[in-house]
């Protein structure tokens, strides 16, 4: 096991900058997930840690060693790819043992490691089979086992579940989480799937266009997104975002008016209001009305029944919003319901640079901040 440290790591291809100076410390035994859309630089960063891509500048350390210029075989890492890359003509036992044989390890030690990994991954009964006789989930477990037998300092996983169907992905997420708990080795995991990131990670690194947007624990990133990109990328269904301006103490977006806007922004400033679909609450009867005026009439336009929950897409004063809550039956397009935006759950962003704005009282800021 080992700590991984990236210091101003940068990657360019000619005039194209793929990764812009990443500074990051991955703790010993941590499971860190790089998350972002295609082309954001997450896999390139992982491949630089592995030594499969040269760094254009910066330093990579694994434990006490500077591995920036070392070959992959000298870094004591093990990598699991999106494609299983198994030898089709070899048995599962031989696929697991192949790398150890290439390192001239003794037969008894190889056998012990292979059988230990097979037992951990539920492959003990499959060691005599060949890859074509396995399911996709079983082949991915073999790929994990091939990495596991090496007993590396670091596991690197590059979108390992993207070829599996939804049910198998969920099952393999459990397998990877359990494996990490058992062996305690540092893992760096790349995915574009936020569910994988949220459920697996100790910390998430969110990337966009080669830049790190935010680093934090999954729920911390979810609760306090650093900017508009993170706010829109994390969460399913995604956060509602409404462009408007501060008018005294109010937030105004055409006909939509929020009487109290708890954001530190001067009157007249353009802002973006964000609220997650699950933080818009139904108002149950007149006795539940908010005397502060944060209740609104919501007109349903589309309903998606998710089983235990219902997602409603509709409008408040011309603003299109999503509401996610407990299952409701009998609603139809055109149905009107009273809802409340929970003030403590509101997020505010500066539309000019996308950055999160601090909470505060809009009216107070308007009085105390100069032009």
Q: Which of 179, 210, 230 is the last residue of a domain?
A: 230
* 211 phi and psi angles, rounded to 5 deg: -105, 140
The C-alpha angle 276, 282, 285, rounded to 5 degrees, equals 160
Q: What is the mean pLDDT of residues 330-339?
A: 92
Residue 359 DSSP class: B
Residues 180, 79 share a domain: yes
Residues 199, 70 share a domain: yes
Residue percentage of the chain with pLDDT more than 70: 94
Residues 181, 248 share a domain: no
Alpha carbon distance 48, 42 (integer Å): 10
Residues 187, 45 share a domain: yes
pTM exceeds 0.85: yes
pLDDT of residue 287 exceeding 80, the answer is no
Q: What is the mean pLDDT of residues 331-335?
A: 91
Q: Which of 202, 230, 258 is the last residue of a domain?
A: 230
Split into its structural domains, the chain has a count of 2
Residues 219, 135 share a domain: yes
Residues 331, 198 share a domain: no
Residues 6+ apart with CB under 8 A from 26: 3, 4, 5, 6, 32, 186, 188
CATH of the domain at 163: 3.40.50.300
Please write the tens of the pLDDT for every residue from 162-186.
888 888 888 889 989 999 999 999 9
Residues 177, 42 share a domain: yes
Which residues span the domain enclosing 27? 4-230
End-to-end CA distance of the chain: 55
Residues 246, 204 share a domain: no
Q: What is the mean pLDDT of residues 89-117?
A: 94
Residues 248, 212 share a domain: no
Nearest to 311 by CA among 294, 233, 301: 301
Across the chain, mean pLDDT equals: 91
Question: How does residue 290 score in pLDDT terms, banded at 50, 70 and 90?
Answer: low
Q: How distant, in Å, are the alpha carbons of 164, 264, 269, 344, 351 from that of 243? A: 38, 16, 11, 19, 8
Residues 274, 160 share a domain: no
Residues 223, 345 share a domain: no
Residues 153, 25 share a domain: yes
Alpha carbon distance 9, 30 (integer Å): 20
């Amino acid at each position: 096991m080992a700590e991984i440290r990236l210091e101003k790591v940068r990657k360019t291809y000619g005039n194209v900058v793929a990764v812009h100076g990443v500074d990051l410390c991955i703790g010993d035994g941590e499971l860190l997930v790089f998350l972002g859309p295609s082309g954001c630089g997450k896999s390139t960063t992982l491949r630089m840690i592995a030594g499969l891509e040269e760094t254009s500048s910066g330093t990579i350390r694994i434990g006490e060693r500077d591995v920036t210029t070392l070959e992959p075989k000298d870094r004591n890492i093990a990598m699991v790819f999106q494609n299983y890359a198994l030898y089709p003509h070899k048995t599962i036992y031989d696929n697991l043992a192949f790398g150890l044989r290439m390192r001239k390890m003794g037969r008894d030690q190889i056998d012990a490691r292979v059988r230990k990994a097979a037992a951990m991954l539920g492959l003990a009964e499959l060691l005599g089979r060949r890859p074509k006789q396995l399911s996709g989930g079983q082949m991915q477990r073999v790929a994990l086992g091939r990495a596991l037998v090496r007993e590396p300092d670091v596991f690197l996983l590059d979108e390992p579940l993207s070829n599996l169907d939804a049910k198998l992905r969920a099952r393999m997420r459990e397998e990877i989480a359990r494996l990490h708990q058992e062996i305690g080795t540092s893992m760096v995991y790349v995915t574009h799937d936020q569910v994988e990131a949220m459920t697996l990670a100790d910390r998430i690194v969110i990337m966009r266009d080669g830049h790190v947007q935010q680093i934090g624990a999954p729920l911390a990133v979810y609760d306090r997104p650093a900017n508009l990109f993170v706010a829109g990328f994390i969460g399913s269904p995604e956060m509602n975002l409404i462009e408007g301006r501060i008018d005294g103490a109010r937030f105004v977006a055409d006909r939509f008016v929020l009487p109290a806007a708890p954001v530190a922004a001067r009157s007249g400033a353009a802002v973006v209001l964000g609220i997650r679909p699950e933080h818009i609450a139904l108002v149950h009867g007149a006795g539940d009305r908010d005397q502060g005026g944060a209740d609104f009439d919501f007109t349903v336009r589309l309903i998606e029944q998710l089983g235990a929950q219902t997602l409603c897409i509709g409008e408040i004063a011309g603003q299109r919003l999503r509401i996610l809550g407990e299952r409701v039956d009998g609603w139809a397009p055109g149905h009107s319901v009273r809802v409340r935006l929970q003030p403590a759950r509101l997020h505010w962003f500066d539309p000019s640079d996308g950055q999160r704005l601090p909470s505060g009282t809009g009216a107070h800021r308007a009085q105390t901040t100069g032009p």
